[in-house]
Every structure is written in C-alpha cells, then in structure tokens.
Amino acid sequence: MSALTIAYVLLFYAATAVLLLGVALKIRSYVRTPAPLKIPTTPAPTTSSGVALRLAREVVLFESLFKSSKWTWIFGWMFHAALLLVLLRHLRYFQEPVWTPVLWVQFAGTYAGFAMVAGLAGLWARRFLVDRVRYISTPSDHLHLALLLAIGLSGLTMRFVAHTDIVALKAFMLGLMRFDWQPLPGDPLLLLHLTLVALLMFVFPISKLLHAPGLFFSPTRYQVDNPREVRHVAAWAAALDK
C-alpha cells in the first residue's frame, strides 16, 4: 500500500468524522436553543400542515429568495439544483451494484456540473457587483465560493479534458467504506479534486454552509402563526413554572 493511498484514506476518515460529528453537534445546539417568542415571518401558516408545506416550498423552490431577489434566486436555485444532480451522480462511486435511480441521473448529472459552476459564478459576481452585498461580504464568503467553484471546475476538467481511472477510483471509494483499502490513482488533478472535497468537509460544520440544516430550526420558518389561539411558552420557561 503506497503512502499516497494511506494519506488519503486517513484524510477522508478524518474529514468524514469531522463532518458528521460537527453537524450533529451543531444540530444539537439548534435543538437546545430556546425560542421564547413567537416570531414567524408573516404572512405565516396557522396550522402545522401549512408550516410543513411552507418549509417544503422553501427547500425546493427557495420561495423567500424568489420574492426578495430574482437574480439571486436564479443563480442560487441553479447552483443548488445542479449540486443535487451532481451528488446523485457521484453515488455510483459508493455503490456496487449501482441503484437504478442513480443510473437514470448519470447523463443529467454530468452536464449539471456546468450549471453548478455557472450558478456559483453568478453568486460570486453578485458579491462584487452589488454594493450592499459587497459591503457585508466577508473573506470567508469569498473563500467558500472559491472552494466550491474550484471543486466544480476540477471535476469538469477530469470529466471532459484530463480523464482519470474511474474504475480504480471507485475501488478506492468502496474500499474506504468496507475498510478494505485499495490503491488510489495518482493523477494530480484527481488528488487536487479530492483534497478540495476533504477541505469542504472539514469547514462545513463551522461555516455559513450550515444554512442547509439550519433552515429547519429557524423559528421564523417552523413556528405556527397562532399566538392568539395558543400561548407560546419556551421549554426553559415551562420548566420554571413547574
């Protein structure tokens, strides 16, 4: 077993542990954070089923972003929809045999990479071209976009320009999951791509990218607008009353 393979095996085990543990701890923090006030963004649903429908529209259609800024919505929705297809396409590297639905998205997932990069480019350009957005942008905002864009571009380059040994790559990925380590191809572009993905896994739990699970724990989104019908009491306040 080469030192290169061992290094990337350990790298991805560490990145996976940080990602899973970090996200779990963050979600635990979200769950424990009290919500003492009724603050749903109005007009808000007055029933639990309405809240579920609202969250579904937010997750699938980015409804609030569409109402706020059409250009940001176009690039944001394009990026997220393309990212989903790309991730589904990459599932084939972790399955044997490959599930039929994953086979169905292979063609769309291949070219979704271009839409993903275009969406990221639009979102990054917005941080330079829109005055109010440029004013509130931090270095981390730019670094996150640069990292995602580099991952997308390196992946597209491997797919359409400098091909790598995907059979050996799949064997490596399956070996990671089965604790049966297999040699990793030494292509520089592949190593760059994998390093960037591991870096993203490391920074995800401590970055603004956590808005993905955080959406479901936002009181402005998950609360029912029924303050006149039901008295809202935070969990910690209810404990004090006992």
Task: For residue 33, give its domain range.
Answer: 3-39+62-205
Cβ atoms of residues 238 and 59 within 8 Å: no
Residue 122 belongs to a domain: yes
Looking at residue 91, what is its pLDDT? 95
Residue 81 belongs to a domain: yes
Interval 5-52: pLDDT, tens: 999 999 999 999 999 999 999 999 998 888 888 888 888 899 999 999
Looking at residue 8, what is its pLDDT? 96
Pairwise CA distance, residues 173 & 178, whole Å: 9
Interval 59-105: pLDDT, tens: 999 999 999 999 999 999 999 999 999 999 999 999 999 999 999 99
Q: What ranges make up the beta strands (E) of the chain? A: none
Residue 179 belongs to a domain: yes
Residue 103 belongs to a domain: yes
Confidence of residue 142 (pLDDT cuts 50, 70, 90): very high
User: Which range among 141-145, 183-187, 207-211, 223-227 shows the weakest confidence by mean pLDDT?
Assistant: 223-227
At 196 the three-state DSSP class reads: helix
- Total structural domains in the chain? 1
Residue 56 belongs to a domain: no
Cβ atoms of residues 100 and 107 within 8 Å: no
Looking at residue 36, what is its pLDDT? 82
Residue 114 belongs to a domain: yes
Cβ atoms of residues 209 and 215 within 8 Å: no
Confidence of residue 144 (pLDDT cuts 50, 70, 90): very high
Residue 105 belongs to a domain: yes
Q: SS3 string of 137-192?
A: CCHHHHHHHHHHHHHHHHHHHHHHCCCCCHHHHHHHHHHHHHCCCCCCCCCHHHHH
Q: Residue 137 sits in a domain of what CATH number?
A: 1.20.950.20
Residue 147 belongs to a domain: yes
Res 203 pLDDT > 90: yes
Total residues belonging to the chain: 242
